[in-house]
Amino acid sequence: MNSWVDLISWVCLLGGAFFAISGGVGIFRFPDFFTRMHATGVTDTLCAALILLGLMFQAGWGVTLVKLFLILVFLLLTAPTATHALARAALHGKLQPVLEAEGESSSQS
């Protein structure tokens, strides 16, 4: 039974690491602020949730599990809210999203 808990824990931890790396790649690959915010906002929340879930499996029953759960709830409530607030502030500051790639025209022949 203990090996199953370790396996599930490592799958969650590696999944969280994968989403952290893919969010970092998204910062460099996407063209404007809003798409970068989407890449980091979604992957950051999922990354933190998976890593904390993996740590919860390793912690077992006790005070540490409760603390990790409270951190998870806090992150799930604040990370999307912070991403939304940053995007709204960018729109309020007159930052417009890039709708076309540079060099492409909207008319096709």
Q: Tell me whether residue 106 is in a domain.
A: no
Distance in angstroms (rounded) separating the CA atoms of residues 109 and 68: 57
pLDDT of the residue at 4: 86
Q: Tell me whether residue 104 is in a domain.
A: no
Q: Tell me whether residue 45 is in a domain.
A: yes
Better-scored residue on pLDDT, 103 or 30: 30
pLDDT of the residue at 101: 61
Write out pLDDT tens, residues 46-67: 899 999 999 998 888 889 889 9
CB contact at 8 A, 27 and 39:
yes
Better-scored residue on pLDDT, 104 or 59: 59
Q: Tell me whether residue 50 is in a domain.
A: yes
Measured at the alpha carbon of residue 35, what is the angle toward residues 78 and 44, in degrees to the nearest 5? Answer: 35
Q: Tell me whether residue 85 is in a domain.
A: yes
Our count of domains for the chain comes to 1
| Share of residues in the chain with pLDDT > 70 (%) | 90
Measured at the alpha carbon of residue 71, what is the angle toward residues 3 and 84, in degrees to the nearest 5? Answer: 120
Distance in angstroms (rounded) separating the CA atoms of residues 57 and 7: 10
User: What average pLDDT does the segment 41-46 reach?
Assistant: 86
Q: Tell me whether residue 22 is in a domain.
A: yes
Q: Is the pLDDT of residue 73 over 90?
A: yes
pLDDT of the residue at 109: 45
Give the domain range for residue 61. 2-92
